[in-house]
């Protein structure tokens, strides 16, 4: 099973490097494309709303938003109904990048899975989703005698 972990790690590194190269051609850093993808669908989210959708922390989004604002990809605006809230809005530059970035990601996915049959792609998708579901649930202890609050392991 450790071989599976090694392979998953290797695939992740290769895909991340290829995605970073592809995104940099459009003036976007890796990870920023994920922020853009959410905002292309729902512009004007708060950092907290965006963080929840991407399953990251709000400080991560705040830092990313600062870099994206510096790059001219988004602007922060106060919510007109609640001035305490800040909303993230795409700039025309970010909107113009939607088609080329979406196409670059499609080409990358196509290249990465080019040697797989349609059935293998479906199985890969299913297997990866099962791993995600398993890993987002309660984490079992590494040591069978270890107690973890999330699983209740070791309780009488």
Give the relative orientation of helices 32-41 and 2-24 as an angle to the nearest 10 degrees. Answer: 70
Q: Give domain status of residue 109, yes or no.
A: yes
Residue 60, phi then psi, degrees to nearest 5: -60, -45
Which residues constitute the domain of residue 65?
15-134
Q: Give domain status of residue 97, yes or no.
A: yes
Predicted TM-score (pTM) of this structure:
0.77
pLDDT tens, residue by residue, 102-126: 999 999 999 999 999 999 999 999 9
> How many domains is the chain partitioned into structurally?
1
C-beta of residue 40 within 8 angstroms of C-beta of residue 28: no
Q: Give domain status of residue 113, yes or no.
A: yes
Q: How far, rounded to the nearest angstrom, does the alpha carbon of residue 47 sit from its chain's CA centroid?
A: 15
Rounded to an integer, the average pLDDT of 131-142 is 81
Q: Give domain status of residue 33, yes or no.
A: yes
- Here the CATH number for the domain that contains residue 59 is 1.10.10.10
d(CA 23, CA 61): 18
């Amino acid at each position: 099973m450790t071989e599976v972990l090694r392979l998953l790690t290797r695939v992740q590194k290769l895909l991340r490097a290829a995605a970073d190269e592809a995104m940099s051609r459009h003036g976007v850093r890796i990870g920023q494309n994920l922020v853009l993808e959410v905002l292309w669908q729902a512009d004007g989210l708060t950092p907290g709303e965006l963080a929840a959708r991407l399953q990251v922390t709000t400080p991560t989004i705040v830092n990313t938003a600062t870099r994206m604002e510096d790059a001219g990809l988004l602007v922060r605006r106060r919510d007109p109904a609640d001035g305490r809230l800040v909303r993230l809005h795409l700039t025309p530059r970010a909107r113009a990048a939607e088609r080329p970035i979406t196409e670059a990601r499609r080409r990358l996915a196509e290249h990465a899975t080019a040697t797989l049959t349609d059935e293998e792609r479906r199985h890969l998708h299913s297997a990866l989703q099962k791993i995600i579901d398993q890993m987002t649930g309660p984490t079992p202890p590494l040591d069978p005698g270890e107690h973890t609050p999330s699983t209740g392991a070791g309780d009488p």
